[in-house]
Structure 1
């Protein structure tokens, strides 16, 4: 599709968050007639308008969807936070209107080479690292998606020479149709967002949509350690490139002791030693291998890749060192928003740990996380909506050293009181932040603020 195709079309943008506002900006730039709709009637129209372009002609509708509206629409663009099975969305779909997501919109309005990453965990680190590698290789690089920059904001600035590195969530993949990356990656698939997707089978199906329009001219990078992804490899339409942290592969990237190795059909290349990297933990070495594979498939020379992976440091809120106070090290892993991500947080710790967990309930189970404590966790300090549920799971697993706290600030104080010199305090909640915080970034920033207040 070219950028003139939406000119004069009547488009409803569903949801007034960052994605929705980004979609409005893009649609108005290509001269579509835009209506912004949000089912929350308590929102303030004037506040929403301050986030729109200065001379925006966008009409804003809050609350109930007017019955006569669907008949006049050419297209609906969904924000990823809006479930697709709620009545207003069903009404729009039943009216036969095409329903795109913001990723589909941005992809159709953009151009150049797309490298797209999904997976339950590790997306942000892998996206940020791949973005840095591509910036070292090319002039025009856009790093977009869940990483904080709306894909829709970047689309019209792209040229044929541009590279777009996109972090794509399951919510965003649900509403793709023609989206086709040159290189895609699925880092792993573990239980998450079942409150939205309802079954594990549906969550897996949606994740694998990232490759559905790819052909054998394209590449899909998959984690060999994930049984589901090994199965997917046999039906994936792209050329599959595996990475593995536990097996020496005949082809692909793998860890051989402390060395990352890449085998192609023709040669074996030593990429880097893990001791040369600034990223800690096996899960991060997997993220590095995924980024290396994607960059190499995208045409980046290995020398460029090697230089970048050696200097790259951890992403904010992902096992981020905060301070050492009274010989206790504090780490912010607020991005550990599900049990599997939090398992990786605790596995990266190399000293006795006081762990802060709990938050919004995404209907996850916590036993596997607790079993992964492996004697490292001295106390589990719990906050938020899930604190009693997690405490019950911990006691059921035989882990009795739990403390319930009122909020994050109190949890930090409790940990500071209970910690011995040489211990670590780790915020790695295994839950989303909603209810207490706007997002995991705000939760991580508050944690860092409370830790620094201990010094004072």
Structure 2
């Protein structure tokens, strides 16, 4: 086996790192799993791996062992510009991402979905479409299931549907999906990537190794995505929410049509869908396009689209309390996602916003507030920035809260029958929460507690 006896360092003890270390250990490598956490704070899963022979390296960067390795695998949360990584590469050590590691062990076709927003919904829906014809399809990646965790259970005739983040592409080298998709590009993660040019370049890596035998799904209405058609060797399949296409899939009035390689017919009406908003119709078109490229029959795609109810934490209806609808959009971790959530609401909004600072402007989001948002409840370190941005557009109905529970309670006070309360922070959750899922679960739990009072 190619990893037998090889020294492998896996950096990061979150889900992806745990899965990568476990995979390498099963493949015969001599594995060290590293994290900046002190030993008393490492997850139980890491301690279980230690019992199976994986060495744990905790509390500091692995500067003293990095150059001794044959391979270093980075979890998505590990920045690539750390000194030990640069030193290891200079010494000839290969450094790859967890997704690249899993890809190298994959024998079945791969569909890879990236973009700033809509990835999780599109990945989940594409997974359901593929499962209708290939039941053992693995839905993995940034969606919350590490690719490395599932790869050993796959056979040649199966399929992988992977949600891919820009972080996961930083150290991807040979990653080659049969079908790729870039849904949209708006500013995000600039605290890590520094410039939009670098961010876009990371997204483009999803199709960098594709050939004329492959397919690339692109958003025709996103100028950055549309220009990517000139950068890929794959067959380009456009989708559009604004105009008919001579070839592709598009929304016209309330109907979605397909014109592609001999197909020329209506796929579905948006009235038949359970998910709301133009952004979700784009997700539907992208997922349908990927299904078509994979050879799934339109009737099968149509049935899956009709039954799909959306994903958790993305404009997720929670409950109606005293005539007020509550929606959990904790996955709205950037301004573009939260813009889509605000535009999807059909009632006056009491909005929770704020969180971790990713170094982006909030103006495109806050300029929508007048006439739509009744009151803004601010949390997290970005609260002053969001307040200043909103005031530029004449919006002043804002309150700062120290705790998340206080914020949700204040929303209940401010909302009246016929309003909606929307958690869509436009920021990452780090600092107050472990992840956006924890933030969303806390919101739902608190809302549901109101039903019991």
| TM-score relative to the length of structure 2 | 0.97
| Matches of 1:69 and 1:386, distance apart in 2 | 38
* TM-fit CA distance, 1:454: 2.1
* TM-fit CA distance, 1:194: 0.3
Question: Which residue of structure 2 lines up, in the alignment, with residue 211 of structure 1?
Answer: 207
Alpha-carbon deviations, 1:354-391, whole Å to 9, x = none? 11101111112111001123511111111111111111
* TM-fit CA distance, 1:449: 1.2
Question: Which residue of structure 1 lines up, in the alignment, with residue 410 of structure 2?
Answer: 414
Alpha-carbon deviations, 1:198-249, whole Å to 9, x = none? 0011000010100000001000000011101111111212111000101111
| Matches of 2:75 and 2:316, distance apart in 1 | 30
State which of 254, 260, 276 in structure 1 corresponds to 2:256.
260
| Matches of 2:312 and 2:379, distance apart in 1 | 22
2:361 is the alignment partner of 1:365: yes
2:438 is the alignment partner of 1:442: yes
* TM-fit CA distance, 1:68: 5.1
Moved over 3 A (4+): 39-49, 63-68
Question: Which residue of structure 1 lines up, in the alignment, with residue 140 of structure 2?
Answer: 144
Stretches of structure 1 lacking an aligned partner (at least 5 in a row): none
Alignment of 1:318-329 (within 5 A): 318-329=314-325
User: Could you say if the C-alpha distance between residues 398 and 374 of structure 1 is closer, same or farther in structure 2, counting changes exceeding 3 Å?
Assistant: closer
Question: Which residue of structure 2 lines up, in the alignment, with residue 15 of structure 1?
Answer: 12
SS at match of 2:104: helix
Stretches of structure 2 lacking an aligned partner (at least 5 in a row): none
| Matches of 1:406 and 1:49, distance apart in 2 | 34
Q: Report the aligned-residue RMSD.
A: 1.5
2:222 is the alignment partner of 1:226: yes
2:25 is the alignment partner of 1:28: yes
Aligned residues: 452
Question: Which residue of structure 2 lines up, in the alignment, with residue 305 of structure 1?
Answer: 301
State which of 270, 274, 297 in structure 2 corresponds to 1:274.
270
SS at match of 1:137: coil
State which of 417, 426, 429 in structure 1 corresponds to 2:422.
426
| Matches of 2:135 and 2:328, distance apart in 1 | 33
SS at match of 2:96: strand
Alignment check: 8 A CA contact 1:353 1:379 kept: yes
User: Could you say if the C-alpha distance between residues 40 and 95 of structure 1 is closer, same or farther in structure 2, counting changes exceeding 3 Å?
Assistant: farther
| Matches of 1:11 and 1:177, distance apart in 2 | 17
2:403 is the alignment partner of 1:403: no
Deviates more, 1:382-391 or 1:203-212: 382-391
